[in-house]
Amino acid sequence: MRILAIETSCDETAAAVVENGQRVLSSEVASQVELHARFGGIFPELASRQHVLAIEPVVARALADADIEEPAELDAVAVTCGPGLVGSLMVGVNAAKGFCLGSNLPLIGVNHLVGHLYSLWLETDRALGCDWRDLAFPHLSLIVSGGHTELILMHGHGSWERLGGTLDDAAGEAFDKVARILGLGMPGGPAIQQAASQGNPAAHDLPYPLRRDPKHALDFSFSGLKTDMLHRCRRAGLDPDGENNGVPPEVVNDLAAAFQARVAELLLDRLETAAILHSARSIGICGGVSANALLREQALSRFAGLGLPLRIPPLAWCTDNAAMIGAAAWFGRPVRFEPDHGLDLDVAARLPVA
Ligand code: KG4
Ligand code: ZN
């Protein structure tokens, strides 16, 4: 079964063709990062306009790369219908509906977060850690993206529960905001990683949010950490709007390294607690922040120490892409999603994963 998948929930216009939920025949991603960089964040109206311009060529390239000449060579069209920026989601959903109208293919709406979960099942030999075949249930996944930080326990395909998540900012959002006050620009995660690689994480003793709060043993909080970073940056002479004011790079690098190390520690501590509490048989980390080199390296050694198979997708499947949407549509078919959402599929800015 071949699915054409479309993803436009945020600032990437993406299309892919995925066979049987796992084999990626093609994957195209047109990033808008440069377009939004000068605004210091994503400008929603601009994002939807850019999706309108990019969607047709991106879909055409995905089809051509997969050697699909006729829609009849496909079995369904999957599209992200939420959560995300409504204007952006609408471009993808309407493009998918148009494709279905012209081809008589069924339309499958996919939750973007479920897409991230299923990025772990994409067939690849470049993923970090175990093979997808070793992802035994109950499987525990940490979704860490720009908009979400969620701990999900999967009992089987299409069957999962949310164990916890962030009480305030998402981890990726914290990376982006801290990068901004450090004057490192967008996208924040890679910029902090780069600066941190030259810094000393022990230079600052940052707070550990929710350390002794049994009610929130599986939740996260990043806003206090972000505020603490803001105060440290001010004391170092940095301007919160990103002005460097001649502060030496070593100062910025140490702050970035301490922040990155603390976030990685917070994420992995919660993941480990949840794994033990719920007797998980395999672990996954997915979403944009799972591209972080320190997090990947530490996760690998921590879960190897616990004897638990861990999988983190290759970098291309960590950040937003359409291949994961094709995977989620295929795996979710029999259980969670209507096989055919029809042309009345709507978009939703908020759409819980469970
Ligand atoms: O999953 P994603 O591409 O989009 C959303 O669904 O939000 O995640 C984007 C987030 C951004 O906040 C970005 O700063 C973060 O992922 N990110 C990283 C890294 N690469 C991307 N965070 C830390 N380290 C990275 N290397
Ligand atoms: Zn995402």
pLDDT tens track of the chain, all 354 residues?
Answer: 999 999 999 999 999 999 999 999 999 999 998 888 888 888 999 999 999 999 999 999 999 999 999 999 999 999 999 999 999 999 999 999 999 999 999 999 999 999 999 999 999 876 678 888 899 999 999 999 999 999 999 999 989 999 999 999 999 999 999 999 999 988 899 999 999 999 999 999 999 999 989 999 999 999 999 999 999 999 999 987 878 888 999 999 999 999 999 999 999 999 999 999 999 999 999 999 999 999 999 999 999 999 999 999 999 999 999 999 999 999 987 534 444 567 889 999 999 987
Q: Is 52 exposed, middle or buried (0-12, 13-18, 19+ CB in 10 A)?
A: middle
pTM: 0.95
Query: How many secondary structure helices (H) and strands (E) does the chain include?
Result: 11, 11
The answer, yes or no, to whether any atom of ligand 1 lies below 6 A from the CB of 193, is yes
Q: Find, among 265, 258, 164, the residue nearest to 220 by Cα.
A: 164
Cα(342) to centroid of ligand 1, in Å?
32
pLDDT at position 145, please?
A: 97
The SS3 of residue 143 is strand
Cα(30) to centroid of ligand 1, in Å?
15
Neighbours of 334 (CB within 10 A): 10
Question: How many angstroms separate the CA atoms of 20 and 6, rounded?
Answer: 16
pLDDT at position 127, please?
A: 65
Cα(314) to centroid of ligand 2, in Å?
14
| Paired tokens of 329 | 């549509």
